[in-house]
Chains A and B, each alone.
Chain A
Amino acid sequence: MANNSFSLNRRCFLGHGAQGIGVYALASLMNQSQAADTEVKVPRWPGILNGQLHREAKAKRVIFLTMAGGMSHLETFDNKPKLRELDGQAMPESYTKGQPIAQLQNRELKCLGGQHEFKKHGESGNELSAIWEHLGSVADDIAIVRSLKTEAINHDPAHTFMNTGTTISGRPSMGSWLTYGLGAETENLPGFVVLTSSGGGQDQPIASRQWHSGFLPSRFQGVHFHSQGDPVLYVNNPPGVDRNGQADIVKAVQQLNQFRGEVVNDPEITTRISQYEMAFRMQASVPGLMDTSDETQATMDLYGTKGADGTFAANCLLARRLAERGCRFIQLYHRGWDHHGNVKGASQNTAKLIDQGITALIKDLKQRDMFDDTLIVFASEFGRTPMAQGNGRDHHIKGYSIFLAGGGIKPGTTVGATDDLGYNAVEDVVSVHDLHATMLHLLGINHERMTFQFQGRDFRLTDVHGHVVDKLLA
């Protein structure tokens, strides 16, 4: 099938899907009526590719760490001695003339040198700023990209662009595309999970559209896990109802729906029965996921967390637990990088909340042999200006830094560069579409061939753009 277009794959799937889902559901029903108390296998969405990948996959899953607010590349991964030299002097107009600008509109533009020292680490010599106290220990495992550029200069559209490949609302997010294409390896949990934390800077809002499935079916929407209240909305029983009491309700619903299915030929009934089974099991598996008491003290210490308390470190641990349980796309947001003022202290504060968790995640995945098939992406929606905004920095889209690690990524490397002042990406420029193309490539998908027809057009995550970044590949 490798040379066939995706639409053929889809049609093949649908061809047996006509009976396909029916067969699954029938099996499910029979199991249930024979042994109502045993667990019943829910038909798992096999992905529209149905196991027939376009190429060999290097990674099975993605953990995408969104540094929301716009992490300054100049305080983290992109060392610019020249900018330090020009600190306090006027930014050469040749850089900024005619360029889009956010809060610095109509202000005098002055250079602000990087606020932290940089140091080379490991055999690779990957260069990190001093605010990363832990990350240096895995510097040889990550690939830094210093030449990412994006197209939207305000938070909300920039996140939308990073997640969906366009700034127009209503298109599917990366996680939805991937669960649509590949399904998930779990029957008990959603395939696309979102976890959030904040701290270290002002909390820019995050919209649920960032994990929306757009025009893809809603089942591919990201499910937002919360650290307070119900971990998944409505996952807890009503007050006064215990698991047995709830089981009575669910079982009765299933039986009555089955009776209905015997008199009405409606394929949705069997689907609904299976979805109630999954819902009931999620009611147990979600709390099980969130309950980290089965982790060793060494693991807890590695992450520096006491349990699922909503911190970034705890979310990194949950990301690993979700990865183990077969989730396809796990996205963490940390809201705290919007440093318009005091970029020096604030970047350090935010990094403190991130550093140990991300480092622990990499180490933990390695010790569990999961690092090689887990693709980690660590990225903001944009970077920050080399120009000062007081003692902070404004939004910047023309060149900034991210890193990738794990499945299929070349370890211990740095790709691309910005100019001397950290303004424009000038070497091996990577667009957001390129990043998407590379991610899909590593998951075994040709980004040009996974499409979905909507409003008469074949849409894809990379729109009409995107090239795989070969230098990032192992």
Chain B
Amino acid sequence: MITRRILSVSVGLYIAAFSSSLLHAQEVDFDRDIRPILSNNCFACHGPDQNTREAELRLDDKDSVFADRDNPLITPGKSSASELFRRISSTDENEMMPPADFRKKLTNDQIELIKNWIDQGAEWKQHWAWTAPNRPAVPQAPKNKISNSIDNFVLAELSREGLNMSSAADRVTLIRRLSFDLLGLPPSTEEVSTFVNDKAPNAYANLIRRMLDKPQYGERLAMYWLDIVRYADSNGYHADKTRQIAPYRDYVINAFNSNMPYDQFVREQLGGDLMENATLQQQVASGFNMLLQTTDEGGAQAKEYLAKYSADRVRNTASIFLGVTLGCAECHDHKYDPFTTQDFYNFASFFADVNEVGVGNAPAFPVIAGMLADQIANKKKDIADKQGALNASSRDLNDTRKAWEAELAKQADTSITAGKWQYIGPISAASFDEAHDKSFVNEAEAIDLTVAIGDKKWSEKDFADGTIHALDQTPNAAHYLLRTLTVKAATKVELKFGSDDGIRVWVNQKEVLNNKVSRGPAADQEKVAVDLREGENQILLKISQGAGGAGFYYTHSNSSVPADIAAIVAKSLADRADAEQNKLSDYYRDNSSELKSQRDEIAQLQQQLKQLNDSAPKTLMTRTREPRMIRVLPRGNWMDDSGAEASPLVPGFMKPLAIEGRRPNRLDLANWMVDPDNPLTSRVLVNRLWKVFFGHGLAEPLDDIGAQGTRPTHPELLDWLAVEFVESGWDVKHIVSLIVSSNTYQQSSGLTEELAALDPYNHKYARQSQFRLEAEMIRDTALSISGLLNVEVGGISVKPYQPAGYWKHMNFPKRTWQLSGGNDIYRRGLYTHWQRMFLHPSLLAFDAPSREECTVSRPRSNTPQQALVLLNDPTYVEAARAFAERILLEGGADESSRLNWAYQSALSRNVNPNEANVLLNVLSKHVELYKANTQAADEYLSVGRRAVPENLDKSELAAWTSVARIILNLHETITRN
């Protein structure tokens, strides 16, 4: 009923007018007139909830109302013989209904209505929204007054009220209205003049088509859809960590732009992951199921949060697609609508297969699509091409190759002959340090194996290469190991060691490794590349032991030529098998310095490919698991496991799913929602689309179509649109076009005294509505007027200017707002990083919701904070300065042409003399002000990232910045008429 807008305009008169017209109506309609009274005043005790039901009487149920009783509740045609009427009209405190101590009372008008209804025969009707819409007959209307059938319905209702449509809006107003409604932006001066001067009879139709083809159309509708589905860039609870989900937002934009049929849109979001051969975009769409608030708070109990998530999905999914408050049945049967608690948990069961953790963060998956997918494909092709070329080069037996083979053959002849190990130890020391550091042999000279150390002598050992060998465990001791390596030509070799504990190594008396460390031995703990000289080389190894076990590991690899390659290159070309020749060529390709530049080029490309892959945005997608058991939670208590089991079923009073032999899933639920027989889905969507173009729905509120919702102002029109929508193939652009093409839409929004009195809320549509732009659009409008707007579509969310310290109350981890780079700070408002706990304050000021829950209708407040944002937020101060630069550079030579240019840019009209006076006063005053105070001018102009132009006079620019600020602050600038 009357909810949020009560503060801006009155509804009181409207209620009075409306209800008195009902009293005088010839026929009382149960669904329209009586059920709302019973629902609001009686259902709490005589309604669907069996636990609070009194006297076993249900006033929401026909059978109960007309059941056989001694004193019939209702005797059709005879209120005097109807107990219901007797009780509601009684003044006896023991008899009256609602009871004397109940907080609700019936008015005399309501009692009179019920009396009339009974006297007229008490015809019972099902709540309108529970029956699928049929296409109603279109009322007659004069041809010259209609553009399409919408107008017939509106005119019929207007004529009943004795009202007429307002005249059509002028073309300037019309293009501005259409541009804000379809694109969320004001039209450019050129667009306005093109349309105003278009003499073609279908000029307006062409304008609609042009706008529907722009990418900003998808952004505009996405703004609304993202509110509905509660899209945000953070988890919501506790630490409110950043969540990667932007590709879902872009999916929504693309879906609207490509005019994806709504039934498909619903299926892909609820069950895209379950579709056969699900495309990447369908999986992205399934991120819908992951949009809810989650926690990763230490100490949170998974079971409790899984219950919260489950309830969240039921509550919100039902609001989002069906416009019903199924969430009210979490703890008890619904008080007004026939939803039971069992229905609630059955609905939850559809989502029991969503793989998620109760406490923690869901993993995000990369989305490689669009331009990035092309870039990656190109890069891969580039790499393949270069690899092909390299392969070809490596097969070319030219002189370079021959010279390389000759050199390789020479190198290959440097195989290592290793002598046996000689060992001496353990040599005790005072400490580990001493054992490691002290020279017990003269390492700087060739070792004489005959020289003993104390009672220890050198002896030959059979230590095989490549395994760990234990040594004596005497603590604080040294062990020496010595062997020779003989090569035919100088070569490079890699020595690999392991040690327990420390290790030192000398090659030809030169120390190449020293690591005093306490550890157990393992393979390849140390690697040293050394140069061996032609002939014999001496390797001396010292193991220093602290405590515990002792041991070592040794192996070497000849890094120059592997044995198999050496064998091949030793053969003549004619003697090599094809496979051998290929192997040699591969070795040439992968190792030769001759081909290094080609290899490096490929390596660089591969690095770039990796960067591209890493740059892919990530997003939450639905992944499935074995469905969890869902039980009815008594009174919503997550710790109580005693409730009945639930299974995936739709609410009991609605048409059941036609699934047999398997467990129904989310996709089945989606299919049920978009079944033409579903009474809710199509009505709910067209009702919300209507709201975009008129400021409110045909049925309010937009999120409760149940018994407590008000009956639609135009029930036939709503049903006609709903049927048209389904029969058009759920064509969203078709419905949008129909609405904006109607004469109803094209009317002037001028509010006359008469209409202000008769229909202040514009529920009869004798005019268009006028209302403030949405939060994001206010930002976009300022940026667009100033020329700063960056119209890039999609991508990760961005961070424009935000007051420092605004995030200081977030923690785990503490974060600061990182301003986006370059002109990302001038992106449209819908791309602003959406932090649930601390939504950007200038969006918040203009009623953008934090998106914790489904929001179908933002309030439209009018507050001092909004004035402070437009006056002082650097976004708007900088936009004003950029606008001022344009005024000076493009607006002509004199002040009046500049003012006109500015007004045309911002408001699509010329400035009038009174307005010009006000602005010129400020202009001249501020020119003087900033001439006298150049420092203030500098400060003023340096707000924001945009560089201050060198070619403009600063005091003049500062003064025009003031003028531009005034224009950006105007009510007219932020209002759609």
B4 in complex: contacting residue of A5, A102, A217, CB < 8 Å: A217
Bound: A190/B836 CA distance, A: 23
The CA-CA distance from A103 to B298 in the complex, in Å, is: 7
Contact across chains for A454 and B862 when beta carbons are under 8 A apart: no
Complex CA–CA separation, A307 to B799 (angstroms): 33
CA distance A276 to B803 in the complex (A): 21
Within 8 A of A (CB), among B806-828: 806, 809-812
CA distance A203 to B709 in the complex (A): 43
Would you call A217 and B7 a contact (CB within 8 A)? yes
Say yes or no: is A279 at the interface (Cβ < 8 Å to chain B). Answer: yes
Most buried by A among B16, B308, B639, B867: B867
B300 at the interface (CB under 8 A from A): yes
> Is A236 a contact of B872 with CB atoms below 8 Å?
yes
Check B12–A252 contact: CB distance below 8 A. no
A253 at the interface (CB under 8 A from B): yes
- Select one of A105, A169, A238, A457 contacting B872, CB under 8 A: A238
User: A105 — which chain B residues lie within 8 A by C-beta?
Assistant: 299, 301
Q: How far is the CA of A153 from the CA of B926 in the complex (A)?
A: 58
Given A205-B240, A269-B971, check contact A241 B940 (CB 8 Å): yes
**A235→B7 contact, CB < 8 A:** no
A226 to chain B, nearest CB (A): 6
Dominant secondary structure of chain B at its interface with chain A = loop
Chain A residues lying within 8 Å of B16, measured Cβ to Cβ, are 15
Of A87-95, A109-117, A154-162, A430-438, the one touching chain B: A154-162
Query: Across the two chains, which residue of chain B brings its CB closest to A104?
Result: B299
Whether A252 contacts B805 by the Cβ 8 Å rule is no
The answer, yes or no, to whether B11 is at the interface (CB within 8 Å) is yes
A206 at the interface (CB under 8 A from B): yes
Which of A17, A202, A235, A266 touches B12 (beta carbons < 8 Å)? Answer: A17
Kindly list chain A residues whose C-beta atoms are within 8 Å of the C-beta of B943: 238-240
A299 to B751, CA, bound (A): 55
- B875 to A: closest C-beta gap in Å: 10
- Which of A205, A207, A457 is the one whose CB lies under 8 Å from B335? A457
Q: Which residues of A are found within 8 Å of B315, using beta-carbon distances?
A: 168
Task: Indicate whether A225 reaches chain B with its CB closer than 8 angstroms.
Answer: no
A265 in contact (CB, < 8 A):
yes
Decide if B850 touches A279 in the complex (CB within 8 Å): no
Nearest CB of B to A338, in Å: 10
Decide if B803 touches A394 in the complex (CB within 8 Å).
no
State whether A14 touches B12 (Cβ < 8 A): yes
Does A250 make an interface contact (CB < 8 A)?
A: yes
| From B8, B15, B293, B941, contact of A268 by CB (8 A) | B8
User: Cβ of A456 and Cβ of B709 under 8 Å apart?
Assistant: yes
* Contacting residue for A240 out of B751, B915, B937, CB 8 A: B937
| Per-residue B-contact encoding for A239-250, CB less than 8 Å = 1, 0 else | 111100110111
Complex CA gap A10/B15 in Å reads 12
* Cα A157 to Cα B919 with chains together (Å): 51
Find out whether the CB atom of A219 lies under 8 angstroms from the CB atom of B325. Answer: no
- Which of B751, B859, B939, B975 interacts with A265 by CB under 8 Å? B751
Is A1 part of the contact surface with B, judged by Cβ < 8 Å? no
A332 to chain B, nearest CB (A): 13
Q: How far is the CA of A103 from the CA of B845 in the complex (A)?
A: 37
Of B300, B809, B970, which contacts A196 at CB under 8 A? Answer: B809
Contact B238 A156 (CB under 8 A): yes
CB contact under 8 A between A18 and B13, given known A206-B809, A245-B926, A268-B862: yes
Q: A229 and B328 in contact (CB under 8 A), knowing A217-B859, A265-B752?
A: no
Question: Chain A residues near B709 (CB, 8 Å)?
Answer: 456
- Is A20 among interface residues, defined by CB-CB distance under 8 A? yes
- Asked whether any CB of chain B lies closer than 8 Å to the CB of A415, the reply is no
Residues of B contacting A100 in the complex (Cβ-Cβ under 8 angstroms)? 301, 304, 639
- Check B301 against A102 for contact (C-beta < 8 Å): yes
A204 within 8 A of B: yes
Nearest Cβ in chain A — how far from B912, in angstroms?
8
Central interface residue in A156, A234, A245, A395, by most chain B CB within 10 Å: A234
CB-based contact B852/A234 at 8 Å = no
Stretch with Cβ within 8 A of B (4 or more), from A76-84, A129-137, A208-216, A364-372:
A208-216
Q: Is the CB of B940 within 8 A of A240?
A: yes
Q: B131 an interface residue at 8 Å Cβ cutoff?
A: no
CA distance A239 to B881 in the complex (A): 13
Return the contact of A14 from the options B11, B240, B869 (Cβ within 8 A): B11
Q: Mark B842-884, 1 if CB is under 8 A from A, else 0.
A: 1011010010110100010111111111011110010000000
Are B811 and A205 neighbours in the complex by a CB distance under 8 Å? yes
Are B969 and A249 in contact, CB atoms less than 8 angstroms apart? yes
In the complex the two chains form, is B750's CB within 8 Å of A207's CB? no
* Contact A154 B238, beta carbon cutoff 8 Å: yes
Task: Please tell me if A275 contacts chain B, counting CB pairs below 8 Å.
Answer: yes
> Shortest CB–CB separation between residue B524 and chain A, in angstroms?
42
**Is A257 located at the chain interface by the 8 A CB criterion?**
yes
Residue among A236, A239, A240, A271 with the highest chain B CB neighbour number at 10 A: A240
Q: In the complex, A256→B970 CA distance in Å?
A: 7
Asked if B782 is at the interface of the complex by the 8 Å CB criterion, the answer is no
Q: Nearest Cβ in chain B — how far from A447, in angstroms?
A: 11
Whether A455 and B704, one on each chain, are in contact in the complex, defined by CB atoms closer than 8 angstroms, is yes
Instruction: Determine the distance from Cα of A167 to Cα of B327 in the docked complex, in whole angstroms.
Output: 13
Do B942 and A205 touch (CB < 8 A)? no
Is residue A306 within 8 Å, beta carbon to beta carbon, of the partner chain? no
Binary contact track B742-780/A, C-beta < 8 Å → 1, others 0: 000000001111001000100000000011100000000
Known contacts A14-B10, A229-B803, A249-B922; decide if A278 and B864 are in contact (CB<8 Å). Answer: yes
**With a CB–CB cut-off of 8 A, which chain B residues contact A101?**
301
In contact, A233 and B841 (Cβ under 8 angstroms): yes
* B702, closest chain A residue (CB): A455
Given A5-B103, A248-B926, A455-B325, CB of A170 within 8 Å of CB of B852: yes
Please, which residues of chain A bring their CB within 8 A of the CB of B836? 207, 209
Give B930 Cβ to nearest chain A Cβ, in Å: 8
Q: Which residue of A lies closest to B963 (CB)?
A: A252
Residues 185 to 224 of chain A near chain B (Cβ within 8 Å)? 190, 196, 202-209, 212, 215, 217-219, 223
In the bound complex, residues from chain A placing their C-beta under 8 Å from that of B250 are: none
Nearest neighbor of B935 in chain A, beta-carbon distance: A240
B670 CB within 8 Å of chain A: no
Q: Mark A405-420, 1 if CB is under 8 A from B, else 0.
A: 0000000000000000
Assuming the contacts A14-B11, A154-B299, A456-B701, asked whether A215 and B3 have C-beta atoms less than 8 A apart, the reply is yes
In this assembly, does B947 line the interface, its C-beta being within 8 Å of a C-beta of chain A? no
B703 contacts the other chain (CB 8 A): yes
Q: How far is the CA of A268 from the CA of B862 in the complex (A)?
A: 8
- CB-CB < 8 A to B966: which residues of A? 249, 252-253, 256
The answer, yes or no, to whether A40 is at the interface (CB within 8 Å) is no
A230 at the interface (CB under 8 A from B): yes
CA distance in complex: A196, B838 (Å): 15
B971 touches A209 (CB 8 A): no
CB of A335 within 8 Å of the partner chain: yes
B521 within 8 A of A: no
Q: Which B residues, 649 to 685, have Cβ-Cβ distances below 8 Å to chain A?
A: none
Known: A154-B238, A457-B328. 20 other contacts (CB 8 A): A18-B760, A20-B10, A102-B300, A154-B297, A207-B809, A208-B838, A208-B844, A209-B850, A209-B852, A219-B862, A238-B872, A240-B935, A240-B941, A249-B871, A250-B871, A253-B966, A266-B751, A272-B971, A275-B864, A275-B866
Nearest 4 pairs of A and B residues by beta carbon = A456-B708, A240-B940, A18-B10, A240-B939
Chain B interface residues toward A at CB < 8 A = 1-4, 6-13, 15-16, 103-105, 236-240, 293, 295, 297-301, 304, 308, 315, 319, 325, 328, 335-336, 639, 701, 703-704, 706-709, 750-753, 756, 760, 770-772, 803-806, 809-812, 836-839, 841-842, 844-845, 847, 850, 852-853, 855, 859, 861-869, 871-874, 877, 912, 914-915, 918-919, 921-922, 925-926, 929-930, 935-943, 958, 962, 965-966, 969-972, 975, 977
Q: List 20 A-B contacts (CB under 8 A).
A: A18-B9, A21-B8, A100-B301, A101-B301, A153-B304, A157-B237, A205-B837, A208-B837, A212-B850, A233-B803, A233-B865, A238-B943, A255-B918, A265-B750, A266-B751, A268-B971, A269-B971, A275-B867, A276-B867, A456-B701
